[in-house]
Chains A and B, each alone.
Chain A
Amino acid sequence: MAATRIEAYRVEADQLYESYRSLTLAEVKTVVEHLREKLRIHIVKMDVEEMVFDLIGADASFANALRRILLAEVPSMAIEIVHVFANSSILHDEVLAHRLGLIPILADPAHFEGMLPGPAAEANEHNTLVFELDAAFVLAKGETGRQKDSSNGINTCDASTLKAPTRNVYAKDLVWRPMGEQETRLAERVPQVAHPDILIAKLKPGQRIKVEGWCRKGVGKDHAKYSPVGTASYRLLPSIDFVEPVLGEEADRLVELCPMGVFDIEDLGKGGARGAGRKAVVARPRDCSMCRECVREGPGVDRVRLKRVADHFIFSIESVGTLAPDRVLKDAVRVLREKCTSLLEAIEAEGRGDGGGGKG
């Protein structure tokens, strides 16, 4: 019967749970019921820049949805429009603007509105942050710039090379200019660059850059500069089993074979099995890189079984420094939730017959 076959397919292809196969249809749990029992999150490491956590019990589709949202759909602030008043540096305006756009801006996107699409949209204090950059390399009369003074970002250089000195322009030279009520509204967390020492340009004597960068709220799928994470990735926890124990010298050999140091020796004492005394055990399965070196040759070939735990994800998020990784993760969940609620609204609107907008 066709229906039975499809139901069987559902079970086989999705493999929600091992025990699924023995259940009758009436006993089958929905995904959320399953997650209520099984979902576990364990944070392995978390600081302002990086976060590693175990996501246990969830399906790959959910982990992947989170990853994709982290990379492309969590909003953040970045310079979008650059007004160039003066630029006599060797960088073209476009290149300079692009470099400015990529600088992570420390500002909470929750404090801003997105820019409405279309040419009619106007910049105001609720959707735009303004940063000014005015950097010039002016030498006083008679100064050669070659004296040994490295303050003020000026690189003194060896007189023998006869090269003109340079002045570096850094991200910290970007100065926030509050608009309207912004000064009081954002007083708690003053907008600034996340990393002050990013090199933007180098100036020779007499050159100048005077620009104004307008920050907007955006998402990574529009431009990578808006992505709040450097990387967000997951891998499955490796699971390494012994079909039968590896003992004695063979155990030493196995420990040596593994370049990641996954195995350890357990001392069984003199009276251990076969009098071998030592046994190989899996001590650090997380360090396993699945290089298969242990099953390629040597004692592990038919005794070590290399697998992965299908519902145990080791998730890692590396922030670019604008938003803490746990905050980005919470934002990502909110984005996914909003996707669903807005779709439910769109379905209701479609049902009433006024949905979806322009038909012709």
Chain B
Amino acid sequence: MSVNEHRPQPAEKKFESLEYTDEHSRTFVFGDEDHTLGNSLRHVLMGRKETRFCGYSVPHPSEPKMNIRLQTSATKPALQVLKDGLHEMVEICDLFDFTLDRAISDYDEQQADSTDERGIH
């Protein structure tokens, strides 16, 4: 077996919720995720009113796992806040996509204008 045949195994579980004390303070374990989602989701969760504490970690680089610790105020359980956060991330992606499309068409227009000008001179 050559080195090229080594493939990292996918995580056993995509999502797991560790229950320690109550539903307002939880550690969520995400399989096959890393800093890409960890840091940005942490940032989104930090901006939510119900969040009292949020942090993420990747316990070991060769383990395909990412942990998010989320503590919320009594108004909403942590799992619900997490779901809200993920929905918010989806919204952010859509917003970015929309803004990008507009920027691209603006740029194309601007390019077309400048070639017109060059044509005249």
Contact = CB atoms under 8 A, between A and B. Distances in A.
Interface of A: 3, 6-7, 10, 14, 16, 25-26, 28-32, 34-36, 39-43, 46, 53, 58-59, 61-62, 64-65, 68-69, 73, 94, 117, 222, 326, 329-330, 333-334, 336-337, 339-344, 346-347, 349-351, 355-358
A contacts with B: majority SS: helix
Contacts of A357: 12-13
A28 B47 contact: yes
Report which residue of A3, A31, A222, A333 has the largest number of chain B beta carbons within 10 angstroms of its beta carbon: A31
25 contacts: A10-B46, A25-B49, A29-B47, A30-B48, A30-B49, A31-B43, A32-B44, A35-B95, A39-B96, A41-B100, A43-B103, A43-B106, A53-B103, A61-B40, A64-B40, A117-B7, A326-B104, A339-B33, A339-B36, A339-B37, A340-B89, A340-B90, A342-B14, A343-B30, A350-B17
Interface string B31-43: 1011111011111
Ranked 9 nearest A-B pairs via Cβ: A356-B13, A337-B93, A346-B15, A41-B103, A346-B14, A43-B107, A31-B47, A61-B43, A65-B40
A343 B89 CA distance: 11
Chain B contact residues (Cβ within 8 angstroms of A): what range? 35 or more
A250 to B, nearest CB: 38
A17 B86 CA distance: 21
Interface of B: 2, 7, 10, 12-17, 30-31, 33-37, 39-44, 46-49, 51-54, 71, 73, 79, 82-83, 86-97, 99-100, 102-104, 106-107
Contacts of B34: 68
A41 B106 CA distance: 10
